[in-house]
Amino acid sequence: MRVIAISRLKSGASEEKAMALNAKELLKEWELQKADVIRQAHSRTDQFGSIFMMETKTMEEAKNKLASLPLAAEGLVEFELFPYQAYEAYESILGKIA
pLDDT tens digit string along 35-44? Answer: 999 999 999 9
Give the CATH number of domain 2-97; options: 3.60.9.10, 3.30.1600.10, 3.30.70.1060, 1.20.1300.10: 3.30.70.1060
Percentage of residues in the chain having pLDDT higher than 90: 87
Mean of the pLDDT values across residues 74-84?
98
**pLDDT band at 89; cut points 50, 70, 90:** confident
In the predicted structure, residue 67 carries a pLDDT above the cut 70:
yes
For 53, residues 6+ apart whose C-beta sits below 8 A from its C-beta are 2, 3, 4, 38, 39, 40, 41
**pLDDT band at 28; cut points 50, 70, 90:** very high
The residue extents of the domains of the chain are: 2-97
